[in-house]
Amino acid sequence: MEDEFYRIKRLPPYVIAEVNAMRHAARRAGQDIIDLGMGNPDLPPPQHVIDKLCEVARKPDAHGYSQSKGIPGLRRAQSNYYGNRFGVDVDPETEVVVTMGSKEGLASLATAITAPGDVVLAPNPSYPIHTFGFIIAGATIRSVPTTPDEHYWEQLDRAMAFTVPRPSILVVNYPSNPTAETVDLAFYERLVAWAKENKVWILSDLAYSELYYDGNPTRSILEVPGAKDVAVEFTSMSKTYSMAGWRMGFAVGNPKLIAAMSRVKSYLDYGAFTPIQAAACAALNGPQDIVEKNRQLYQKRRDVMVEAFGRAGWEIPSPKASMFAWAPLPPALKDMGSLEFSKQLLTEAEVAVAPGVGYGEDGEGFVRIAMVENEQRLRQAARNIKRFLNSKGVNSTTTS
């Protein structure tokens, strides 16, 4: 009998889990850890959304099995979101499916459309589900860059020319988790044309659609005419409405992909709890001031973090979107590597960050910092980091 199961053998150790375990142990020991590691929103959902959840949960008939692809009202609400936000017409019957967060949606679609031996193009570094959802399904990953420059296009063409069998799927994620990079509509126009020419499906993860800064709204690939011929896009309510634990997301786009995914999901689950779906309708259909309020709050945190960490001696590029900063290790400590740096930062500065190598080998040399603590805590983190850097012989320019 095999010691390990086939799919488990294909999964490497989850590097980020190592730092998470250290964080839990430190907190159990009474240490005040400033947790900038996990992208777990610290803000509450809108009150009217919680009220709707409670209202529907009190109904005796709301506790049975729900619809796997989502209740009709919620699919209509998501269709209206695409119309209002992106000017895109979406058929709620054939082009929308409700997912239990974008993570489950990507995994379900991977199960539906890939076979062992299929080759999938995925960014490196990337959020783990963008690769491991397909690895679990039996596919093979060929990495392409995350940074959307000319080198990106060269690597796409190289992958198509020299990979056997030819790749059939490309995953894109902008704003990127973990790098926070963004793209414009011209990028998506070129991508759709490339996908049609090469007969490749595009899976676009737009989980951070509403966390954009400096007045530059994110774009959707579905804004490109004809994109639905080749693309499906995932969105999430986790960050937009601070509903991460509710597990509410959507896949929207190509009817063939949506149908395949819906069929697989019908075997795997009965859909999310109906009161949660009703509350998600209230979020999408109700007042949207919370979205702008959250966006401004995260932008202020970004500005405080970049300024305070910079004064502490750690220069961090200011992210254009998402709730993350993708920070190169301080040059003097680069040889330490992202995992060891993250461990020492946790034990010596009581600040948790996510090691970049956990997002792929090309993430080495970086850490991901989540803006999930308030401004006061971010400034405290900067003071702790300043002491840590000074103890390593890294001198800051001024006091923080």
Strands (E), the chain: 34-35, 96-99, 119-124, 140-145, 169-173, 201-205, 231-236, 249-253, 324-328, 351-352, 354-355, 366-370
- Residue 73 pLDDT greater than 80, yes or no: yes
CA angle 130, 134, 135 (to 5 degrees): 110
pLDDT at 400: 41
Nearest to 235 by CA among 270, 259, 211: 211
3-state SS, residue 245: helix
* pLDDT (0 to 100) of residue 398: 46
257 has pLDDT over 80: yes
The pLDDT value recorded for residue 124 is: 96
The reported pLDDT for the residue numbered 13 is: 67
Report whether 96 contacts 70 (CB < 8 A).
Answer: yes
C-alpha 16/C-alpha 340 separation (Å) is 12
Average pLDDT over the chain, rounded to whole? 92
In the chain, % of residues over pLDDT 90: 78
Question: Can you give the pLDDT at residue 53?
Answer: 95
Alpha-carbon distance of 227 to 189, in angstroms, equals 8
| Mean pLDDT within 61-70 | 88
Instruction: Decide if pLDDT at 312 tops 80.
Output: yes
274 vs 56: CA distance, rounded Å: 8
CA 22 to chain centre: 23
* Residue 41 confidence (pLDDT): 81
Average pLDDT over every residue of 238-254: 92
At 182-218, the pLDDT tens digits run: 999 999 999 999 999 999 999 999 999 999 999 999 9
Residue 74 has pLDDT above 90, yes or no: yes
pLDDT of residue 399: 43
The more confidently predicted of residues 352 and 38 is 352
- Averaged over 43-51, what is the pLDDT? 93
Q: What is the mean pLDDT of residues 307-320?
A: 96
**Position 17 pLDDT exceeds 90:** no
* Greater pLDDT, 43 or 303: 303
The vertex-322 CA angle with 287 and 222, nearest 5°, equals 70
How distant, in Å, are the alpha carbons of 16, 70, 197, 283, 304 from that of 78? 32, 11, 30, 10, 34
Residue 278 has pLDDT above 50, yes or no: yes
pLDDT of residue 15: 72
How sure is the predictor about 2, in pLDDT bands with cuts at 50, 70 and 90? low
Residue 84 pLDDT > 90, yes or no? yes
Structure tokens at 31: 């240490």
Residues 6+ apart with CB under 8 A from 78: 90, 92, 96, 98, 235, 250, 252, 284
pLDDT value at 397 more than 70? no
Residue 256, H or E segment: helix 255-268
Residues 6+ apart with CB under 8 A from 346: 19, 22, 23, 26, 33, 352, 353
Q: What is the pLDDT of residue 26?
A: 87
Cis peptide before 330 (omega within 30 of 0): no
Q: CA-CA distance, 343 to 18, in Å (whole number)?
A: 9
Per-residue pLDDT band for 1 (boundaries 50, 70, 90) equals: low
pTM of the model: 0.93
Both tokens of 274, joined, read 């109906």
pLDDT tens-place string over residues 348-396: 999 999 999 999 999 999 999 999 999 999 999 999 999 999 998 887 5
Q: Are 141 and 93 in contact (CB under 8 A)?
A: no
118 pLDDT higher than 60: yes
Q: Give dist(CA 25, CA 44) in Å, integer.
A: 26
